[in-house]
């Protein structure tokens, strides 16, 4: 028996554990993946290139066997990082052939907090107002002001390196020294200031420490070394992860228990009391079942992971899954989407070269909250991009030549080029859903998810406009030789590809149309909370992890107060 059970140990699970443990709650964290240690042997960031098997190339047989099909084309999926991602053959999902879905997962202690992109962006006022304004999805029951103090609380602890940009659409926060833009990026940014009042190129806001605080140093975290080996695990603790920060903080209290290799099958429910009583887990190796009991349960298993647990937790009161009286569990599945990639030459600066490997890109925030031209879509998009030198000859053997001339050319820097990728806001639609497959089960006997979430007409229109916009932006920024790759309408765009899946247990005021209230607390089951990506009612355009974290610490604060009042 525990005071609190937290399901999942990633971005939100680690935060829930830290906050409850520091408030004196005996807390159990349940992780379905294996146990690994911070700075342990699974971290490969200290290995030299010649020490990595296959020169960091992933064996082709994995692709032939379909083992990592959802992530194999991601640039950060290498031999040195594959240990942090699941094998698709061992963990299957189902989706329509015409509508592929990519669910990229990491099953280990710390989850995907070990491999996340670290872009830590607040949402703005208009992001929380969008659903109510245009009638799509369930209106948010909270606004920016509700989260602002919790954003600050999270930022101070994790360490966000950023510049104070003074943008209403992307509020400033508690920041450490920002990373510096390259000369080419500064050139573009200054030109955009002259050309636009609403389109800005800024340095990204990264959870990589540049000025360690006393609190961070006491947890063993050090300054980011700008090596850009983040996806290998960071021995320095320079970037925020559950393993480097929140779980160690929780452990210091003496109130933390962690069990790994334990797959939560169901949240258990007592029909008489109307409360969740705990969880049933399946041992990942022996496949034996056991139960844990608690007074409060926080689901932080990732958006789709929590949805799967909710739907599979059936009882007399909830025949369609716990907390699902509204029928909304599994609906409004979203992700950010791309569809436009731009590349352009930045003239000049031939006498300058970049140094180090900055861990974050630059960012063009969404400037389309209010449509002012002939746009035929709603919501908006932003861009993430980087300007860097490119060598005249790479290591891909695509250029003709041999011997001394090739070696000489390879050492000569080419021109500065800026590459940008669109991040669009997907509308929250009820018809984008995840449900339990009626017949197929995984190796532990749990029904797999069937996911049907599609890019639809509004998103396609946004892609067309984004292609026009980024060309105009780069031209105004002083770039030349602009090349735009716009995904054709005939090409399916896999939802989940941006690894920002959200929705499935949305927040809202009305229990008839939403799953959670403004505290991420179940409308139906008062001691059950869901604070990972499942709770999101819309997806905005910003990377969502900072918002997950703020929602989590706010929910823990509320749950603790209810508990001490005897109301849970």
Please name each of the domains of the chain with its CATH number. 2-161+206-302+429-455+515-530+543-564 (3.50.50.60)
Of 83, 5, 10, nearest to 45 (Cα)?
A: 83
Residues 6+ apart with CB under 8 A from 327: 320
pLDDT band at 414 (very low <50, low <70, confident <90, very high): confident
- The region, left, alpha or beta by phi > 0 then psi within -120 to 50, assigned to residue 469 is alpha
Q: Contact 434/335 with Cβ under 8 angstroms?
A: no
Partner residues linked to 15 by β-bridges: none
Tokens of 45: 């960031």
| Mean local confidence (pLDDT), 513-522 | 98
Describe the crossing of helices 545-564 and 11-22 by its angle, rounded to 10 degrees.
Answer: 30
In whole angstroms, what is the distance from residue 343 CA to residue 503 CA? Answer: 32
The sign one gets for the Cα dihedral 176, 177, 179, 180 is positive
Q: Which helix (H) or strand (E) holds 482?
A: strand 480-486
Cα–Cα distance measured from residue 25 to residue 262, given in angstroms and rounded to the nearest whole number: 21
pLDDT, averaged across the chain: 95
Structure tokens at 373: 């031209």
pLDDT at 400: 62
pLDDT bucket at 392, cuts 50 / 70 / 90? low
Q: Please give the average per-residue pLDDT across 264-287, as a whole number.
A: 98
> Residue 77: pLDDT band by 50, 70, 90 thresholds?
very high
Identify the pLDDT of residue 371: 78
Band (491; pLDDT cuts 50, 70, 90): confident
* Secondary structure letter of residue 478 according to DSSP: T
Q: 304 — alpha (psi -120 to 50), left (phi > 0) or beta? A: alpha
**Structure confidence at residue 350 (pLDDT):** 87
On whether the CB atoms of residues 471 and 342 are closer than 8 A, the answer is yes
Helix H, strand E, coil C: the string for 336-381 is CECCEEEEEEECCCCCCCCCCCCCCCEEECCCCCCCCCCCCCCCCE
pLDDT the model gives residue 404: 80
**Tell me, what's the pLDDT at 373?**
76
pLDDT tens digits, one per residue of 94-148: 999 999 999 999 999 999 999 999 999 999 999 999 999 999 999 999 999 999 9
Q: Residue 369, CB half-sphere, CA atoms under 13 Å: how many?
A: 20
Distance of CA 56 to the CA centre of its chain: 25
Separation CA 33–CA 262 (nearest Å): 7
Residue identified by tokens 């990519």 is 102
Q: How confident is the model at residue 408 (pLDDT cuts 50, 70, 90)?
A: confident
From CA 380, how far away is CA 369, in angstroms rounded?
Answer: 6
Structure tokens at 501: 């899946």
Between β-strands 2-7 and 289-299, what pairing exists: parallel, antiparallel or unpaired? parallel
- In Å, how far are 68, 218, 462, 463, 487 from 493, measured between CA atoms? 18, 44, 13, 11, 8
Q: How far apart are CA 562 and CA 568, in angstroms?
A: 6
Torsion over CA: 169, 170, 174, 176 (sign) = negative
Q: Residue 492 above 90 pLDDT?
A: no
Paired strand residues for 257:
28
> At 397, is the pLDDT very low, low, confident or very high (cuts 50, 70, 90)?
low
Max CA pair span of the chain: 81
Give the separation between CA 497 and CA 237, rounded to whole angstroms.
Answer: 27
What would the two tokens of residue 484 be?
A: 């735009």
Residue 413: pLDDT band (50, 70, 90) is confident
Element (H, E) at 147: helix 144-158
Continuous segment of H or E residues that includes residue 466: helix 457-476
What pLDDT is stored for residue 375 in this prediction?
87
Is the predicted pLDDT of residue 253 greater than 90, yes or no?
yes
Q: How confident is the model at residue 481 (pLDDT cuts 50, 70, 90)?
A: very high
Percent of the chain with pLDDT over 70: 98
356 pLDDT band, cuts 50/70/90, is confident
pLDDT at 47: 95
- Is the Cα torsion angle 294, 300, 303, 308 positive or negative in sign? negative
Q: Which of 469, 485, 457, 493 is nearest to 376 (CA)?
A: 457
The backbone torsions φ and ψ at residue 428, rounded to the nearest 5 degrees and listed phi first, read -75, 110
216 DSSP β-pair partners: none
Kindly state the percentage of the chain with pLDDT values over 90: 89
pLDDT of residue 385: 96
Rounded to the nearest 10 degrees, the angle between the axes of helix 125-134 and helix 144-158 is: 140
Number of CB atoms found within 10 A of residue 61's CB: 8
pLDDT tens for residues 295-324? Answer: 999 999 999 999 999 999 999 999 999 999
On the CB side of 177, CA atoms within 13 Å amount to: 8
Torsion of CA 233, 306, 563, 295, to 10 degrees: -100
Give residues with Cβ within 8 angstroms of 505, minimum separation 6: 306, 307, 310, 323, 328, 329, 515, 516, 530, 534, 535
At 353, is the pLDDT very low, low, confident or very high (cuts 50, 70, 90)? confident
Q: Stretch 421-437: mean pLDDT, rounded?
A: 98
Q: 266: part of which helix (H) or strand (E)?
A: strand 262-270
Rounded Cα–Cα distance for residues 168 and 178 (Å): 19
pLDDT of residue 545: 98
Query: Would the pLDDT of 394 be above 70?
Result: no
For the chain, first and last CA: distance in Å? 15
């Amino acid at each position: 028996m525990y005071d609190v059970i937290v399901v999942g140990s990633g971005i939100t699970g680690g935060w829930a554990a830290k906050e409850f443990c520091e408030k004196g709650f005996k807390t159990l964290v349940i992780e379905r993946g294996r146990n690994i240690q911070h700075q342990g042997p699974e971290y490969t960031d200290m290995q030299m290139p010649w020490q990595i098997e296959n020169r960091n190339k992933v064996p082709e047989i994995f692709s032939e066997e379909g083992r990592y099909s959802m992530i194999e084309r991601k640039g950060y999926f290498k031999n040195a990082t594959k240990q942090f991602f699941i094998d698709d053959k061992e963990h299957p999902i189902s989706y329509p052939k015409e509508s592929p879905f990519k669910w990229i997962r990491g099953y280990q202690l710390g989850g995907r907090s070990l491999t996340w992109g670290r872009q830590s962006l607040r949402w703005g006022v208009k992001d929380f107002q969008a659903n109510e304004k245009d009638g799509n999805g369930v209106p948010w029951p909270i606004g920016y002001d509700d989260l602002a103090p919790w954003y600050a609380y999270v930022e101070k602890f994790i360490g966000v390196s950023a510049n104070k940009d003074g943008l209403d659409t992307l509020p400033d926060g508690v920041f450490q020294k920002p990373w510096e833009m390259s000369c080419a990026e500064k050139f573009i940014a200054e030109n955009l200031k002259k050309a636009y009042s609403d389109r800005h190129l800024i340095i990204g806001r990264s959870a990589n420490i540049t000025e360690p605080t006393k609190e961070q140093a006491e947890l063993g975290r050090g300054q980011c070394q700008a090596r850009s080996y983040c996806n290998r695990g960071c021995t320095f603790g320079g970037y925020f992860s559950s393993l480097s920060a929140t779980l160690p903080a929780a452990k210091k209290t003496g109130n933390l228990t962690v069990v790994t290799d334990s797959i939560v099958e169901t949240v258990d429910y007592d029909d008489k009391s109307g409360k969740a009583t705990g969880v049933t887990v399946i041992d990942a190796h022996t496949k034996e079942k056991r139960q844990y009991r608690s007074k409060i349960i926080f689901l932080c298993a990732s958006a789709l992971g929590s949805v799967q647990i909710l739907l599979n937790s059936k009882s007399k009161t909830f025949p369609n899954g716990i907390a699902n009286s509204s029928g909304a569990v599994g609906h409004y599945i979203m992700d950010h989407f791309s569809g436009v990639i731009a590349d352009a030459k930045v003239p000049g600066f031939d006498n300058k070269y970049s140094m180090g490997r900055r861990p974050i890109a630059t960012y063009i925030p969404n400037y389309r909250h209010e449509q002012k031209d002939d746009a035929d879509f709603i919501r908006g998009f932003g861009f993430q991009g980087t300007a860097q030198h490119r060598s005249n000859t790479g290591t891909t053997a695509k250029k003709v030549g041999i011997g001394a001339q090739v070696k000489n050319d390879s050492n000569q820097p080419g021109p500065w080029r800026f590459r940008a990728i669109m991040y669009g806001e997907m509308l929250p639609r009820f018809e984008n859903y995840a449900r339990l497959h009626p017949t197929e089960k995984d190796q532990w006997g749990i029904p797999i998810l069937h996911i049907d979430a599609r890019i639809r007409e509004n998103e396609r229109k946004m892609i067309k406009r984004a292609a026009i916009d980024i060309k105009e932006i780069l031209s105004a920024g002083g770039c030349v030789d602009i090349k735009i790759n716009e995904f054709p309408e005939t090409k399916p765009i896999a939802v989940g590809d941006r690894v920002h899946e959200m929705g499935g247990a949305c927040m809202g005021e009305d229990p008839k149309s939403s799953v959670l209230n403004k505290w991420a607390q179940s409308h139906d089951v008062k001691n059950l909370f869901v604070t990972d990506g499942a709770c999101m009612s819309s997806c905005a355009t910003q990377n969502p992890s900072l918002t997950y974290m703020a929602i989590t610490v706010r929910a823990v604060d509320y749950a603790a107060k209810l508990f001490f009042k005897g109301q849970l």
